[in-house]
Amino acid sequence: MEYFLEQLINGITLGSIYGLIAIGYTMVYGIIGMINFAHGDIFMIGAMISLIAILAIGLTASASFALLLLALILVLAIAMILASAFNWTVERVAYKPLRGSFRLAPLISAIGMSIVLQEFARIAQGGRPKPMQPLLSGGFELMHRTTEAGEFIVRISTIQIIIIVTTLALMALFTALITRTSLGRAQRSCEQDMKMASLLGIDVNKTISITFIMGASLAAVAGLMFFLRYGVIDFYIGFLAGVKAFTAAVLGGIGSIPGAMLGGLVIGLIEVFWSAYFSVEYKDVAAFAMLAVVLIFLPQGLLGKPEVEKV
Amino acid sequence: MALAPQPTQQGGARAARSPTVPPGDQKRLLIDLLLTGLIASAIFGPIVGMSATAPQGGLVLQYRWGTVFWLVAAVVIGRLLLHLFVWNRPDWVKPIHVKRLGAGLVAIGTLALLLGLFVFDAPWFDAVGIFGLIAGAWFYISSSNETAAERGAPSPLAHAIEPLGKYLGIALLLIAIALPFIPGVDRRIVDLAILMLTYVMLGWGLNIVVGLAGLLDLGYVAFYAVGAYAYALLSTIYFPLWFGDGITPWAFWLVLPLAGLLAACWGLILGFPVLRLRGDYLAIVTLAFGEIIRIILINWYDFTGGPNGISDIPRPSFFGIPFTNDENGFAATFGLAYSPLQRIIFLYYVILVLALITNFVTLRLRKLPIGRAWEALREDEIACRSLGINTTNTKLTAFAIGAMFGGFAGSFFATRQGFVSPESFVFMESAIILAIVVLGGLGSQIGVVVAAIAVIGAFELFRELDFLKAIMPEGFDPTQYRMLAVGIAMVLIMRWRPRGLVTKRDPSIYLKEKKAVSADLVAQGHG
């Protein structure tokens, strides 16, 4: 029971990170109907920038908690802005000129861009994994029980609390942004019919750019969280995380933001429970197999609308 | 630099000149350049300028602001040049002039490169050659887009190459057959040719799936892995176990069809669940499948040897006669002097024949109803279904046949290396094969050959780029930039010439007359 609870918390934390990345996939897919294959690498870039910013500020675990939190917010802002610059450029260079090209062109270009970003990070920062001492330690005991078999403790660490709280806050913020503001209205209208939206005076290009920027900011948040939680990153983390987050987006129903979050949680839980109860080695296989199963039996996802193919 | 923000090109090739800043507006030009510089510094600043390294355990930042400065300067100056000479070109400069300039630059670049590589030992010749080639290709391709748009012709480069295509193919084939006996060809060149031919074969196999049937397969390397491991396992463990050691010289020829069959079965297993998916979903699922195979290969230690792989895989024999230096060996049997090159040359001809079989089968299949169904499927899936084509079977056969050739190539890879490990079957390998197909033009057979030679040749070339070492700071290693170049090439090709450098877009079979279907006219965004 305690083990289960512990894993549940781990799963929710990992799922929050996947969910944050998945939102970027789902928003871009919703608007221009393409898989931004480079999105996972934007997450990696976000994590890299966070690491560099933490080093540049000179942040160590010895700082007081309030100072640490303040500094982390600054790091987060830097990572979000710079990752947005990356994704904006990627969109301008690799996707925008291809709008209206044949079906596979943007995807192939996105794969090329993903390779470019990965290699860029590898060449500039080296291929070795970058480990760092955990910045935030400590946590709370949720349960403490002593039985004949030994002591059972369920803990939730400060990082996990920060991750879950930040994710919830960002979810609320983004839901409000999409449902309440004129920007969100423009995005939703582009999603429904891009041509009609532009006829009605919506700047489609700007809306798409903003969508990419929003997706990148969330990926940067996920990048910082991932780095804080696991303490080690390299240039290749974006690939696996990207595929899993895409799985999450599909599972939740592509185009739906609450769906992306839900899908992220499910994938995170599956991965954590699979490694906890079956085998660590095959946790990625479990997540990928989930993708195939979902696409076969539930192609529209948990919260998505069924796609109607028009001739 | 490819990362500079570019103006929009709505509507494909027609709007190749679309200035964001009107000519003569100095103020807006300045603002534009400032913004470019700002974004370039945001991109290069932290990642390039501050490198986190761990010399003694803990991570420390190393600052490299000089590199950042040069990169940002290159981007800004590049954009300024684009503004002045490309987007706001004077009226008297016609696209045809640019095209001729491009062709001239390509010729000069090639000449300089060849001189630099083979005649003089001067790095500056290489430098001039490479830059001439790149700039020339860019001028040529971008302006031929424009001239084509002016004349309304579909694809000028393909137009120019198409009549040559037949002769180019025959010429390449003759060179390929005679290659090992051309004087001056040493082991290094034959090895390189074997590598190129392996990629040509893989490219042709993937071309069936991506180019003909229009199904984007990002996990093609999985079938390559299935073929390689099938040969490795059967020839080292199971064949000696079942039939005794005498079978080993024949193992390659016995396993080859089996490996193809196994890979085809895997193609079916993978294809079956994903058939209902749209193009881009399919891409991700195939990618996931490729990763699953790799993870299984790494973790199933008892069967596959885990990360260590399988070594001591039997080398191929000349139909039972081994390439050894004794009286039963190949050299003694045929009364030749023994040379280790004989085995390499034999391997070369094996892969040449395998690749040619792939090509032949593909060309024949394209004339059969199934091949025509693939091409129809690529163009419009809904129309296909309404015309009564069984899309399930069509997709499955494309997957299975493509996979089968991947399996053949995998077996060959295993016997050539004598060693397989999961490291050889990473996603990047799939990406390289896909890049070859994309660069060559989806569906073009000769294009794949040209692209494979170009990509693998360029990989080799990166090793020879001494001039870069001369002008760049200490410790600069050009081979590190190979995949970066592949990625940039994929993006640029999709921008300039989405159908590939050598385009073959016409259907194989046509009614009464051949109607060229331009890429611009084909339905966008539909299945």
User: What value of ipTM does the predicted structure carry?
Assistant: 0.86
**Among all chains, which residue has been given the structure tokens 């991570």?**
B59
Q: Residue B186: what are its φ and ψ, rounded to 5°?
A: -110, -175
Among A93, A217, A291, most B C-beta atoms within 10 A, so best to mutate, is A93
B524 contact partners, CB below 8 Å, separation of at least 6: A100, A101, A102, A103
| One-letter identity of residue A273 | F
B47 contact partners, CB below 8 Å, separation of at least 6: A45, A48, A49, A52, A120, A121, A124, A125
Q: H or E element: which one contains A56?
A: helix A39-57
B365 phi-psi bin (left φ>0, alpha ψ -120 to 50, beta other): alpha
Measure the CA–CA gap between A286 and A168, rounded to whole angstroms: 26
Q: How far is A286 from chain B (nearest CA, A)?
A: 9
Q: Which of A49, A24, A3 is nearest to A154 (CA)?
A: A3
Beta carbons of A268 and A18 less than 8 angstroms apart: yes
Measure the CA–CA gap between A104 and B519, rounded to whole angstroms: 12
For residue B507, the SS3 value is coil
Which pLDDT does position B22 carry in this prediction? 65
Per the structure block, which two tokens stand in for B161? 């190459």
Domain architecture of chain A: domains with CATH? 2-297 (1.10.3470)
Per the structure block, which two tokens stand in for B415? 């016997």
Buried-exposed string B67-105: b where 16+ CB fall within 10 A, e elsewhere: bbeebbeebbebbeeebeebbbbeeeeebeebbebbbeb
| One-letter identity of residue B116 | G
Residue of A nearest to B48 (CA): A124
Which pLDDT does position B499 carry in this prediction? 66
**Among all chains, which residue has been given the structure tokens 């608007």?**
A31
| CB-CB neighbors (< 8 A) of A33 in chain B | 525
Measure the CA–CA gap between A271 and A263, rounded to whole angstroms: 12
Per the structure block, which two tokens stand in for A296? 């076969």
Q: CB–CB of A51 and B52 under 8 A?
A: yes
For residue B63, the SS3 value is strand
Per the structure block, which two tokens stand in for B231? 């040969």
Measure the CA–CA gap between A149 and A91, rounded to whole angstroms: 57
pLDDT tens profile B245-292:
777 777 788 888 889 999 999 888 888 777 777 667 788 888 888 888
Rg (C-alpha) for chain A, rounded Å, is 20
Q: Which of A26, A24, A17, A16 is nearest to A253 (CA)?
A: A26
A117 contact partners, CB below 8 Å, separation of at least 6: A38, A41, A42, A44, A45, A86, A90, A238
Q: What is the pLDDT along chain B (527 residues), one digit of tens a residue?
A: 344 444 433 333 333 444 466 666 778 888 888 888 888 888 888 888 888 777 776 777 778 887 788 888 888 888 887 777 667 666 666 767 777 777 888 888 888 777 776 666 666 666 777 777 777 777 777 666 655 554 444 455 555 655 666 677 788 888 888 777 777 777 888 888 899 999 999 999 998 888 888 888 888 999 999 999 998 888 888 777 787 777 777 778 888 888 999 999 988 888 877 777 766 778 888 888 888 888 888 888 888 887 888 888 877 777 767 777 677 777 777 777 777 777 888 888 889 999 999 989 988 888 888 888 888 888 777 888 888 888 888 888 888 999 999 999 999 999 888 888 888 888 888 988 988 888 887 777 888 888 888 888 888 877 766 666 666 656 667 777 888 888 888 888 787 776 666 655 555 555 555 544 444 444 333 33
Q: What are B267-271's contacts with CB under 8 Å, separation 24+? A: B267/B223, B267/B396, B267/B399, B267/B400, B267/B401, B267/B402, B267/B403, B267/B404, B268/B396, B268/B399, B268/B400, B270/B219, B270/B222, B270/B399, B270/B403, B271/B395, B271/B396, B271/B399, B271/B400
- If you count residue pairs, one on A and one on B, with CB atoms under 8 Å apart, how many are there? 207
Q: How far is B100 from chain A (nearest CA, A)?
A: 25
Q: CB–CB of B488 and A116 under 8 A?
A: yes
Residues written for chain B: 527
What average pLDDT does chain A have? Answer: 84
Instruction: Give the mean model confidence (pLDDT) for residues A88-110.
Output: 83
Per the structure block, which two tokens stand in for B475? 């410790």
Burial of B46 (0-12, 13-18, 19+ CB in 10 A): buried
Alpha-carbon distances, residue B470 vs A194, B127, B130, B474, B481 (angstroms): 51, 10, 15, 9, 16
| Number of Cβ atoms within 10 Å of the Cβ of B34 | 11
Measure the CA–CA gap between B458 and B461, rounded to whole angstroms: 5
Q: CB–CB of B438 and A55 under 8 A?
A: no
Between A116, A126, A281, which is nearest B491 by CB? Answer: A116
Between B52, B296, B438, which is nearest A52 by CB? Answer: B52
pLDDT tens profile B394-406:
888 888 999 999 9
pLDDT tens profile A249-300:
888 888 788 888 898 999 999 889 888 888 777 888 888 888 778 777 777 7
Q: CB–CB of B487 and A115 under 8 A?
A: yes
Is A124's Cβ below 8 Å from some Cβ in B? Answer: yes
